Structure 1
């Protein structure tokens, strides 16, 4: 449980200009985030453009991260979808070797009822050989997993240990924090409201910006958890603009532009239907990095 408190990073999948997976850039990114003090890594989530990766590419990404991490941080693997039977099949133990937990998104596109969401995750919990972190992101899935459904799952299945809550709704987050079982963690899935969620009793974040500013963002979360509100607020205010920028034209185009400018990855390439950050956005990110060079 303690392994997933603090700052997790939802890793991108770097691509070369020819659209192939860039394992060298991925290795550099893993090293950079670990050196920056983050607490765990999330592989093949939404930010990784998993929907555009072949099974062979997913395996390449997994093995690259496992090898580079070399057991230093806990690893969480994204295993989710809108076909319950297919998700259960993906929970094969051999495919999860090297990972410590799974992150499973609420079914998208189908728009199931709350009962349908419950029954989907019931099957995930019954078949998962690792702890399960639920993932609620209604802006992408088209349906909201209500606090009552989350609490029901948390109470019914011991291996459902947390939720990545990315509804962007602070009231909903507070209801989860108020009613959750003691053992269950509420993890922010929204970089901008990570600080208030953590201060209200949340377990930290699974972040996008933390792979661009690992030391600074994990420092903010750590300060909040240690009760140093002045430092946490200061760091949060310094990062607000760049958090806006990296999501301005969608994820992960913004963070890839940032990581490219920081020379962590070789190319900001994304795969269609996504497109790279515009020149205007690249300039905004560049200006932030230049102004903030003293504290990055």
Structure 2
């Protein structure tokens, strides 16, 4: 019996005839966790409940299937279900808004073909952009030109505009420098970068150079440059960042948004004070990774979210009475109080 032919991809128009890529607006983007039921299926109600919570807090956009979202633990069908649940909630919660809320889906794979397939599936489920890591499995066989070529080929074939995800720890140590990222910024189908490398010097070079590079290719200066951690939101804004894509914003979305608002209002001292509390809390989220973020969900959002603290095997949840959760509870106490205060102010201001 002959093997069946692989499925063909939907035709993708050439870059020069594709619709213009929608830029990412400035602001706070939240890489959501994956939520599971006790029977280890995707918890759609919890996913939609958290989506609505984040939108009510004033975030600019949502990200699914990043490293914080256990993308590597999900099947293709589960990935699609999560995107669909988030996109449906966004449509329901923001139907009166004139500005659409971006839904950025992680679509990382090791080959151009599979990455493009994931982009098509994400678009069909309602995503507006694709977040893509550099391929790192064969790192030793791929130089900087090869990595840049990978993104350029995906961008040409993908129905979604791309956001480059520079996270060396998740890409076998591949760390894109500012020269490569500026080359990619010249592609009209690549609209931004998430710098989880934490390099604020690189961030500053991209903020300065991307508009010039895009202008040379006939485009506008609408290339989103954002840090990938909440512990340097203000530092990034000072050198011109357009926002942040931070997992800690799952816990303290209002505090993360407020740092940007204070900075824009020229109230830098207040922004600095709030950044200090966010940085202390985020350090624990960084240390414990997505397990720490999930463990803190009921701490920040109430005991009804206890099920949201459960990861997928082979990982186990952090024990509620264990040392890690006690440390998280104590270390995040300051930003928790700030988040509660901001929520109360929002209610009082209505």
**1:192 pairs with 2:235:** no
TM-score (norm 2): 0.78
Once structures 1 and 2 are overlaid, which stretch shifts more, 144-153 or 171-180? 171-180
**1:171 pairs with 2:201:** yes
Alignment of 1:128-207 (within 5 A): 128-141=158-171, 142-155=173-186, 157-181=187-211, 182-207=221-246
The structure with the largest alpha-carbon Rg is 2
User: Any idea what the Cα deviations from partners look like across 1:175-221, whole Å, max 9, x if unmatched?
Assistant: 22232223322111122122211210011011101110111111112
Q: Is the 8 A contact 1:132 1:160 kept in 2?
A: yes
RMSD: 2.1
Cα–Cα, structure 1 residues 230 and 179, in superposed 2: closer, same or farther, change >3 Å? same
**1:253 pairs with 2:288:** no
Once structures 1 and 2 are overlaid, which stretch shifts more, 41-50 or 64-73? 64-73
Alignment of 1:21-36 (within 5 A): 21-36=42-57
1:105 — aligned with what? 133
Cα–Cα, structure 1 residues 126 and 295, in superposed 2: closer, same or farther, change >3 Å? same
TM-score (norm 1): 0.91
User: Any idea what the Cα deviations from partners look like across 1:237-265, whole Å, max 9, x if unmatched?
Assistant: 1222210111212x210110111323363
**How far does residue 137 in structure 1 lie from its aligned partner after superposition?**
0.6
Cα–Cα, structure 1 residues 108 and 196, in superposed 2: closer, same or farther, change >3 Å? same
User: Any idea what the Cα deviations from partners look like across 1:103-132, whole Å, max 9, x if unmatched?
Assistant: 111213222311111110011110122321
**1:76 pairs with 2:76:** no
2:147 — aligned with what? 117
How many aligned positions are there? 294
Q: Greater relative contact order (Cα 8 A, min sep 6): structure 1 or 2?
A: 1
Cα–Cα, structure 1 residues 114 and 227, in superposed 2: closer, same or farther, change >3 Å? farther
Unaligned runs of at least 5 residues, structure 1:
none
Give distance in 1, aligned partners of 2:23 and 2:116.
26
Once structures 1 and 2 are overlaid, which stretch shifts more, 186-195 or 67-76? 67-76
1:39 — aligned with what? 60
1:127 — aligned with what? 157
Give distance in 1, aligned partners of 2:51 and 2:166.
25
1:270 — aligned with what? 311
Cα–Cα, structure 1 residues 150 and 95, in superposed 2: closer, same or farther, change >3 Å? same
